[in-house]
Chains A and B, each alone.
Chain A
Amino acid sequence: MQVPAPFEYERATSVDHALALLERHGPEARLIAGGHSLLPMMKLRLARPEMLIDINDLSDLDYIKLDRGEIAIGAMARHAAILDSPLLAEHYRIFREAEKVIADPIVRNRGTIGGSFCQADPSEDLSAVGSALRAKMVIRSSSGTRTVAAREFHDGPYQTMVGPSEILVEIRVPIRPGSGSAYEKVERRAGDWAIAAAGTFVQLSGDNVADCGIGITAVGADHFACAAAEDFLIGKPATVENFAAAAQICHDAVAPQSDQRGPADYKRHLARELTSRALNRSAARARGEDV
């Protein structure tokens, strides 16, 4: 049995309570939700928070709903709820496809979307989804709320813009009529972290790409995104060739590192291959095809 270093523990009863606890205990305090990243790191003693603030009772942050023309997802929404959400399935198939390949059902029953974003693992799947959809991250502190774009949320591996006395409370995704989305991931084994993964949406205007988003994970993409490839596609016909050209831009833009999941050249190849596949399926879905 791996055992963590000593720590204190308190259960928050409300967001305000959690914020008060964060302020009281300072930067050595950590929030714990599902705990599926934090607890293993604590057991390996890679993380040594002095204080754990358990926010699992904050059920008012556990929702997926329509709100002012956007989908609002509470930070405490569990992966399993996102996987099963009819609202998300109707508007963004990317969520379901990404969730299906995140860990396993046991982890998905506990892990939360807020935890995934705030853990900010460079191979994390929902971060790529958030970047692809240009989600907005709602962050609260005792002095109020602020909103940060998903593409500005991360500040390097395992680093986010959430301050020591702040809590990520909500993720907001605009609804895009006439769009389709998809997620493609290659892993060494079911439930493993991605060797590489790409998620995209494509919104069509006639035969042309009106808007699109490309999120890529595990390959060192800047903010899990590839804006240059998006810029290339917008306004162009939604063809296999254009998607291949956009995917090539991703291939050239990413900065993967070799590790035991695979060498850098392979990961770079996957960035292209998976982006291309995701774009084609997104476009087909935008056309109403069942793919």
Chain B
Amino acid sequence: MTVTEDRPLSPAGNPMGFGRMIRKEDVRFLRGKGNFVDDVNLPGMLHGAVLRSPYAHARIVSIDTSAAEAHPKVKAVITGKILEGLKLAWMPTLSMDVQSVLCTDKVRFQGQEVAFVVAEDRYAARDALELIEVEYEPLPTVYDARKALDADAPIIRDDLEGRTDNKIYDWEAGDKAKCDEVFASAEVVVKQSMIYPRVHPAPMETCGAVASMDKVTGQLTIWTTTQAPHAHRTLYALVAGLPEHKIRVISPDIGGGFGNKVGIYPGYVCAIVGSIVTGKPVKWMEDRSENLMSTSFARDYHMDGEIAATKDGKILGLRVNVLADHGAFNGVAQPTKYPAGFFHIFTGSYDYSAAHCNVRAVYTNKAPGGVAYACSFRITEAVYLVERMVDCLAFELKMDPAELRMKNLLRPEQFPYTTPTGWEYDSGDYPRALKEAMRIAGYDDLRKEQVAKRANGEMMGIGLSFFTEGVGAGPRKHMDILGLGMADGCELRLHPTGKAQLRISVQSQGQGHETTFAQIVAQELGIPPEDIEVIHGDTDNTPFGLGTYGSRSTPVSGAAAAVVARRVKDKAKLIASAALECSVDDLEWEQGRWFVKGDPEKGKTIQELAFAAHGNLELPEGVEGHLDASVVYDPPNLTYPFGAYICVVDVDKGTGHVKVRRFIAVDDCGPRINPMIVEGQIHGGLADGIGMALMEVMAFDENGNHLGGSFMDYLLPTSMECPSWELGETVTPSPHHPIGVKGVGESATVGSPPAVVNAVLDALQIRHAEMPLTPAAVWRAIQDNPISRPDLAIE
């Protein structure tokens, strides 16, 4: 299927196309030879540090920078007032709002940027922050999204003309009237409120930039932690009024992104201004607490769901009201037409016709952001909702949750399938995936074991989730960010000796693009993957494209790589006809070689043709020399990977401690280009799921203080919390993708949290309790006194 081990290997022992191979980037990472933004050191480089607000909501009365400016190593102190003069105090967000770069009027979340110091070294820059005196006048805070629209709630965005409340938008999808009708006549309706708390992507590398403005040439070069270098370049041009052709954005090795590195942060802009002001390169790297407290968070959805069904478990409809906490500025990164991302895919993997959602977004005194942590533009929240609601229904009907799912899953013959809210799922065989997961798990035996354990007073739980993802944004006509269409370029150039360079627009943050994309070209052209260099992350050296997030690299740029390779192959065919003195129609392809039909000995390898294309061969009429091609790939639709997950937990009922005993993940992402990379991404996503389900949360106290501002307070899972993952696979190709593949980077993060939560609740034999299911939360749930607001300080 996807594994090519039966084919001869390359000279370096790699598959000549798809299959397992060690990542090309591992050589430098494992030897500590990566080149991250903080490794960039330029002659004369200065260092920046950001002064941040200790208050969540406070008017700035005065800022005195004189003592900081007097520090012998300080070169510049930049405040909002200075930026105002440059018209840079505010910048546009990715959601048509504006965000403060450095505060001019009042701070709106704890950790907001107030001033920027540029000094000779980062120690002095940090020391000088303490010399800046800011007088604040604290204001009451909106720390609870549910109070944001109260009549007496303080207005956060008084900078916006005519603002009288904290509402950002109301947005709905689905057919409300039809949905109401179905619910009114349904035999069973189950309601459940649930919170998907605010969490953080917490990449290992924090965000930062090195900005270097050459005042002579007007050239700005910025090395920065970005998942979307081209989009950033255009935004800098739009924000700062800099000419786009004089801006070069370089995204070197990136230590994890997960959506945290999609947007532009005030610190990046400050580094640029710092370089303009001082005439020297300026480096700014935030520290861990700054990353957790001020950069793009994820989730923060308060969801009131309702599911309608017949008494025997046929699902009829689903509706939900969402209260979305967007923080102080609407900085969500998502396609323009979709203010709640792809949340309206919440109908999930099941067959019913009535669905409706309303999403109401509000401002609060918290950091902006909102689409991050491998969420596929809010599909994480959507899957959590539907998979919890299905389990709530099973609970009320006293049905086995696997049986209920099997009864309602979409059937293979229904594809392509249009959902009640308008998505067209490309392909799927859902029952097969669920059966495979149940087979690996030994589902029936697990249920028997559970019965025995319960008789013994022990708490064991089995949780399921079935998810459908939608990844690979655009098409461009439906999807853009700030007007930039979501289509991606790709260029392939074969050198005379047959070695190749592939230039892609997407940006790896650890996904292994340099390997996967080389394998795609290898598969198409028969060039060994070690002979293909993948170039990315430098706007001067790669074609335009929207970058890597929402699992879009392989669905979009992977398609582009296959298409561009096919164009090269077609051109090579013309050259082969000249070299072999035969008609183009007489040529046949085998991997890596064009040959004459009926005379297999007579042929030319792609490497020979590359040389011929650069050599003295007389080329056919209309064929230019060299062997290269470029494309822009505009995806016709998203790809829809899916999967069935089963989690087995044991709960210590005396302490509430949850032990994840097993986790079975059957993923269908179409054919796997490099199964090892796919499995690695699934492993990471499953660990994410355990983290979110059991420990991760950013709560805020009534003063808007962030209660998760370090890794001592914001917990990420370790290997100790993770079982040995049991992975399975089914393969349903995407019909519209050139090589049939679907994205997978976020599948496990999207699909796993409800499986873990469902398992814990199954152990407890209760219908619902909120994430994260910490020992305290579980024990309280057992006591029938649950922690209902994990987003607030625990009292």
* B residues 683-709 touching A (CB-CB < 8 Å): 695, 697, 699, 707-708
Specify which chain B residues have a CB less than 8 angstroms from the CB of A193 in the assembled complex. Answer: 712
A186-B655, A189-B717, A263-B795 are known contacts. Are A1 and B285 too (CB-CB below 8 A)?
yes
Specify which chain B residues have a CB less than 8 angstroms from the CB of A273 in the assembled complex. Answer: 654-655
Chain A to chain B: the 5 pairs with minimum beta-carbon distance, closest first: A262-B776, A190-B720, A2-B287, A266-B776, A186-B655
- Taken together as a complex, chains A and B put the C-alpha atoms of A193 and B287 apart, in Å, by 22
Q: Does A192 contact B (CB under 8 A)?
A: yes
* A residues 185-203 touching B (CB-CB < 8 Å): 186-193, 195
- Taken together as a complex, chains A and B put the C-alpha atoms of A195 and B780 apart, in Å, by 14
Specify which chain A residues have a CB less than 8 angstroms from the CB of B717 in the assembled complex. Answer: 189
**Distance from A265 Cβ to chain B, minimum over Cβ atoms (Å):** 8
7 A-B contacts, Cβ less than 8 Å apart?
A: A189-B716, A189-B721, A192-B712, A195-B775, A260-B707, A260-B713, A263-B787
A3-B122, A190-B720, A273-B654 are known contacts. Are A260 and B699 too (CB-CB below 8 A)?
yes
Known: A189-B715, A190-B720, A195-B776. 11 other contacts (CB 8 A): A40-B712, A44-B710, A186-B656, A188-B774, A189-B695, A190-B718, A260-B794, A263-B776, A263-B780, A266-B775, A273-B654
- Taken together as a complex, chains A and B put the C-alpha atoms of A258 and B287 apart, in Å, by 28
**Distance from B158 Cβ to chain A, minimum over Cβ atoms (Å):** 31
Q: Does B779 contact A (CB under 8 A)?
A: yes
Specify which chain B residues have a CB less than 8 angstroms from the CB of A269 in the assembled complex. Answer: 779
For the side of the interface on A, what is the size category?
A: 20 to 34
* B residues 648-677 touching A (CB-CB < 8 Å): 654-657
B794:A189 contact, CB within 8 angstroms: no
Chain A CB within 10 Å, residue with most, of B122, B654, B718, B787? B654
The number of chain B residues with a CB under 8 A from chain A is 36
B775:A186 contact, CB within 8 angstroms: yes
Q: Which of B38, B715, B780 contacts A188 (CB 8 A)?
A: B715
Q: Does A6 contact B (CB under 8 A)?
A: yes
Specify which chain A residues have a CB less than 8 angstroms from the CB of B123 in the assembled complex. Answer: 3, 6
**Distance from B652 Cβ to chain A, minimum over Cβ atoms (Å):** 8
A190-B720, A263-B787 are known contacts. Are A258 and B775 too (CB-CB below 8 A)?
no
A44-B289, A189-B695, A260-B794 are known contacts. Are A270 and B718 too (CB-CB below 8 A)?
no
**Distance from B788 Cβ to chain A, minimum over Cβ atoms (Å):** 12
- Taken together as a complex, chains A and B put the C-alpha atoms of A266 and B656 apart, in Å, by 10
B794:A258 contact, CB within 8 angstroms: yes
A6:B776 contact, CB within 8 angstroms: no
Specify which chain A residues have a CB less than 8 angstroms from the CB of B285 in the assembled complex. Answer: 1
Chain B CB within 10 Å, residue with most, of A187, A260, A263, A274? A260
Give a binary string over A255-291; 1 marks a CB under 8 Å from any B CB, 0 the rest.
0001111110010011001100100000000000000
Interface residues of B (CB under 8 A from A): 38, 122-123, 126-127, 285, 287-289, 654-657, 695, 697, 699, 707-708, 710, 712-713, 715-718, 720-721, 774-776, 779-780, 787, 793-795
**Distance from A238 Cβ to chain B, minimum over Cβ atoms (Å):** 20
Q: Does A89 contact B (CB under 8 A)?
A: no
- Taken together as a complex, chains A and B put the C-alpha atoms of A189 and B692 apart, in Å, by 12
- Taken together as a complex, chains A and B put the C-alpha atoms of A44 and B290 apart, in Å, by 11
**Distance from A188 Cβ to chain B, minimum over Cβ atoms (Å):** 5
Specify which chain B residues have a CB less than 8 angstroms from the CB of A188 in the assembled complex. Answer: 695, 715, 774-775
Q: Does A5 contact B (CB under 8 A)?
A: yes
Specify which chain A residues have a CB less than 8 angstroms from the CB of B708 in the assembled complex. Answer: 260
- Secondary structure dominating the interface of B: loop
A262:B775 contact, CB within 8 angstroms: yes
**Distance from B537 Cβ to chain A, minimum over Cβ atoms (Å):** 23
Q: Which of B712, B779, B793 contacts A266 (CB 8 A)?
A: B779
Nearest residue in A to B716 (C-beta to C-beta)?
Answer: A189
Give a binary string over A61-79; 1 marks a CB under 8 Å from any B CB, 0 the rest.
0000000000000000000
B794:A262 contact, CB within 8 angstroms: yes
**Distance from A219 Cβ to chain B, minimum over Cβ atoms (Å):** 13
- Taken together as a complex, chains A and B put the C-alpha atoms of A2 and B50 apart, in Å, by 12
- Taken together as a complex, chains A and B put the C-alpha atoms of A195 and B710 apart, in Å, by 17
Nearest residue in A to B701 (C-beta to C-beta)?
Answer: A260
A2-B289, A189-B695, A191-B718 are known contacts. Are A260 and B780 too (CB-CB below 8 A)?
no
- Taken together as a complex, chains A and B put the C-alpha atoms of A273 and B783 apart, in Å, by 14
Specify which chain A residues have a CB less than 8 angstroms from the CB of B287 in the assembled complex. Answer: 1-2
**Distance from A216 Cβ to chain B, minimum over Cβ atoms (Å):** 14
A258:B707 contact, CB within 8 angstroms: no
**Distance from B99 Cβ to chain A, minimum over Cβ atoms (Å):** 25
A188-B774, A258-B795 are known contacts. Are A266 and B780 too (CB-CB below 8 A)?
yes
* A residues 65-109 touching B (CB-CB < 8 Å): 104
**Distance from A68 Cβ to chain B, minimum over Cβ atoms (Å):** 39
**Distance from A260 Cβ to chain B, minimum over Cβ atoms (Å):** 5
Nearest residue in B to A192 (C-beta to C-beta)?
Answer: B715
**Distance from B134 Cβ to chain A, minimum over Cβ atoms (Å):** 17
Specify which chain B residues have a CB less than 8 angstroms from the CB of A191 in the assembled complex. Answer: 718, 720
- Taken together as a complex, chains A and B put the C-alpha atoms of A266 and B720 apart, in Å, by 24
**Distance from A31 Cβ to chain B, minimum over Cβ atoms (Å):** 22
Give a binary string over A165-188; 1 marks a CB under 8 Å from any B CB, 0 the rest.
000000000000000000000111
B793:A260 contact, CB within 8 angstroms: yes
- Taken together as a complex, chains A and B put the C-alpha atoms of A36 and B560 apart, in Å, by 49
**Distance from A244 Cβ to chain B, minimum over Cβ atoms (Å):** 12
A186:B794 contact, CB within 8 angstroms: no
Specify which chain B residues have a CB less than 8 angstroms from the CB of A274 in the assembled complex. Answer: 655
A261:B655 contact, CB within 8 angstroms: no
- Taken together as a complex, chains A and B put the C-alpha atoms of A3 and B685 apart, in Å, by 32
- Taken together as a complex, chains A and B put the C-alpha atoms of A258 and B795 apart, in Å, by 5
- Taken together as a complex, chains A and B put the C-alpha atoms of A273 and B695 apart, in Å, by 22
Nearest residue in B to A277 (C-beta to C-beta)?
Answer: B654
A261:B776 contact, CB within 8 angstroms: yes
Specify which chain A residues have a CB less than 8 angstroms from the CB of B712 in the assembled complex. Answer: 40, 192-193
**Distance from B774 Cβ to chain A, minimum over Cβ atoms (Å):** 5
- Taken together as a complex, chains A and B put the C-alpha atoms of A274 and B656 apart, in Å, by 12
Specify which chain B residues have a CB less than 8 angstroms from the CB of A5 in the assembled complex. Answer: 127
Specify which chain A residues have a CB less than 8 angstroms from the CB of B718 in the assembled complex. Answer: 104, 189-191
Specify which chain B residues have a CB less than 8 angstroms from the CB of A40 in the assembled complex. Answer: 712
Nearest residue in A to B129 (C-beta to C-beta)?
Answer: A45
- Taken together as a complex, chains A and B put the C-alpha atoms of A2 and B127 apart, in Å, by 11
- Taken together as a complex, chains A and B put the C-alpha atoms of A260 and B697 apart, in Å, by 10
- Taken together as a complex, chains A and B put the C-alpha atoms of A274 and B779 apart, in Å, by 14
A189-B695, A189-B721, A195-B776 are known contacts. Are A6 and B122 too (CB-CB below 8 A)?
no
Nearest residue in B to A196 (C-beta to C-beta)?
Answer: B655
B779:A3 contact, CB within 8 angstroms: no
Specify which chain B residues have a CB less than 8 angstroms from the CB of A44 in the assembled complex. Answer: 289, 710
- Taken together as a complex, chains A and B put the C-alpha atoms of A262 and B656 apart, in Å, by 11
- Taken together as a complex, chains A and B put the C-alpha atoms of A189 and B715 apart, in Å, by 7
Q: Which of B127, B779, B794 contacts A6 (CB 8 A)?
A: B127
**Distance from B721 Cβ to chain A, minimum over Cβ atoms (Å):** 6
B780:A1 contact, CB within 8 angstroms: no
Specify which chain B residues have a CB less than 8 angstroms from the CB of A261 in the assembled complex. Answer: 774, 776
**Distance from B360 Cβ to chain A, minimum over Cβ atoms (Å):** 28
